[in-house]
Amino acid sequence: MTIEANSVPQRVLITGATGFVGGALVKSLSDDLRYLPIAVMRSKIRAAMHNAPTVYIADLSSTTDWSGALKGCALVIHAAARVHVMNETASDALAEFRKVNVAGTIRLARQAAEAGVRRFVFISSVKVNGECTDGGRPFSADDLPAPSDPYGLSKQEAEDALRCVSAETGMEVVIIRPTLVYGPGVKANFRSMMGWLKKGVPLPFGAIHNKRSLVSIDNLVSLITVCLSHPRAADQVFLSSDGVDLSTTELLKKTAAALGVRSRLIPVPARLLTICAIVAGRRSLSQRLCGSLQVDIRKNQTVLGWLPPVAIDDALKRTANEFLGRD
């Protein structure tokens, strides 16, 4: 795209700027002459984000004052959230998720509309669609929501609330539901998986024939960036993936190859793994390892003309290189 010399970059407020997705967005948009990202951070202790202007918001709730942060912003990307956690400790998890993910989002959206923000891009979750597609039909963006945990339900409620704000104010809303996001700097289970593979730990996942969608951080950022400006993105829902679905076994083999090691996978039947996980009280873990979760992203191409620009093997190689300290 050609940028005219006298064009003024549009200010984009990015919440969750110190997170995995938010940080990648700040970095990418800092290099895009069309935009001036404004990074929202919760603590002044954190370092500046890629030379982007920063604002400090202590919390995300129904009483947060966003007026100063939103001044002059034409666009908002809302990536901050109370995220899904494996070992929830709150006595009422849904209430805790609602405080941040629903009430906090509504507060930001209403103040954004009052400040004249034209478009609000909400980073939701595939958990709004559900937890699995073991019936063989991938989720589509226009399926009826079927969340099954407090996090997914809070994200659905936030989406519904945003549609109401949009209808009342005219502010455009775009909803993006990512699948599992990976890439350079990824943490949690994906990084642990790379650690096991690098050490040569034998893993009992050599005979799993499920299918799961995942999305590299580069492809997700590409989709979000398109949704900032594409006229047909307004008031739409999009799912995100790399466009290639892998079994757990295939993912482990590809990741091992990217790391330059041999995968040591023992072909334990998926049914036996599932039974063992249930007995151990880890049913949700068995679902993620042995169950399927696929998404259909054809709508992205039909509506936006968007296809994932980064191939999954290249994305895994970049992820592995960062893990190995080669970047």
Give the separation between CA 122 and CA 139, rounded to whole angstroms.
Answer: 19
Q: Catalytic: 151?
A: yes
Element containing residue 258 per DSSP (H, E): helix 248-259
Mapping DSSP to helix (H, G, I), strand (E, B) and coil, where does residue 181 land?
strand
Burial class for 144, CB neighbours closer than 10 Å (0-12, 13-18, 19+)? exposed
Give the separation between CA 150 and CA 156, rounded to whole angstroms.
Answer: 10
DSSP 8-state class, residue 212: B
Catalytic residue chosen out of the listed positions 35, 56, 151, 182: 151
Write the DSSP string, 24-54: HHHHHHHT-TTEEEEEEES-TTSPPSTT--E
Calculate helix-pair angle for 217-229, 312-323, nearest 10 degrees. Answer: 120
Catalytic residues: 151
